[in-house]
Amino acid sequence: MSTEDYPHGAIPKINPAVSKHRRLFTEHSAAPYLLTTFTNARWLENSPREYDSLMGPHQELIVANVEDDDDLVGRTPDDEMERVGALNPDFYIPSDRWVYEDTMTPAAQLKEIDRCMSGTRAVYNRIQDRDDLSTSVIPLAKGWKVWHFERCRRTIDDLGIDYCAFDVTQYESIYMILDDVRTLIDVIQPSGILLIGRIAPDHLRRCPAEVVAATGVNHWRKNCEPASGELSREAYGNWATDANNALTTVPSETRQSRLDQFPGITGVQFHG
């Protein structure tokens, strides 16, 4: 699968069980990708008609097994495959685990990173073995140190995928995000990164060229919800234009050459 076929641009994270989210994004031309969590995707599994009506012909669904630690406890590749098999999403981010700096020893960090990579391999291989599934796996890079990312690189290289996701939801500082993203790039050397949990245009403008996609919820929701409480499709379109322009801003000489690999991130094609 070509790298340019992976998600790019600003991607809203949604809860499909929320009717306001469905009304906002159903067949929205400025939302070619929709992302929801493994837990929230259960609603789509239980509501196949709503699932079919939500996704327009130009839209693609990303299901992310990236959520709170309590939701991840006990979840296995068998559980993941059950949901993937039921929904056949366009993309799936598998097997997240928790890795913390202050409360975990290096050995404990390594154990959880290895569990993430082992689960990623298992889910990837099982999807590949299914002729009835067209889902593409997006591996998740875990950690922040060089040796963390080295551990992830082995799996990502073995899978032959030149694209990964990186969760920064719990980061408090954009400076910490940028430092760790640069370390990830130095070690894994992906052509594209999907940044999870940070989608404000002011922050996206500062990201390295390899960050070609970003997803989150608070910033788009805050900018699309007027006093009436109903989410505005027009306001979302305006916000998406700003966010996508931020992803194509040139913070270094390398950004445009990198984004040439993702021709969908253009003002005309993406919002046309």
pLDDT tens-digit readout, 182-191? 999 999 999 9
What pLDDT, on the 0 to 100 scale, is given for residue 250? Answer: 59
> Which residues of the chain are under the pLDDT cut of 50?
253-259, 261-263, 265-272
CB atoms within 10 A of CB 16: 21
Sheet holding 140-141, edge to edge: 9-12, 211-216, 192-196, 163-167, 140-141
Is the separation of the CB atoms in 123 and 137 below 8 Å? yes
Tell me which DSSP letter residue 13 carries: B
Nearest-angstrom CA–CA distance, 119 and 77: 6
Q: Within the chain, what is the greatest distance between any pair of CA atoms?
A: 51
What is the pairing mode between strands 60-64 and 91-93? parallel
Nearest-angstrom CA–CA distance, 171 and 114: 22
Is the separation of the CB atoms in 118 and 152 below 8 Å? no
Q: Which domain holds residue 180?
A: 3-259
For the chain, the distance separating the N- and C-terminal CA atoms, rounded to the nearest angstrom, is 25
Q: 234: closest CA among 249, 224, 242? A: 224
- Is residue 271 in some structural domain? no
Q: Say how many domains are in the chain.
A: 1
CB atoms within 10 A of CB 183: 17
- Is residue 212 in some structural domain? yes
The pTM assigned to this predicted structure is 0.89
- Is residue 106 in some structural domain? yes
What pLDDT, on the 0 to 100 scale, is given for residue 146? Answer: 95
- Is residue 272 in some structural domain? no
Q: 170: closest CA among 262, 68, 271? A: 68
- Is residue 270 in some structural domain? no
- Is residue 252 in some structural domain? yes
Is the separation of the CB atoms in 64 and 165 below 8 Å? yes
Is the separation of the CB atoms in 11 and 33 below 8 Å? yes
What is the CATH number for 123?
A: 3.20.20.105
Counting every residue written for the chain, the total comes to 272
- Is residue 269 in some structural domain? no
- Is residue 113 in some structural domain? yes
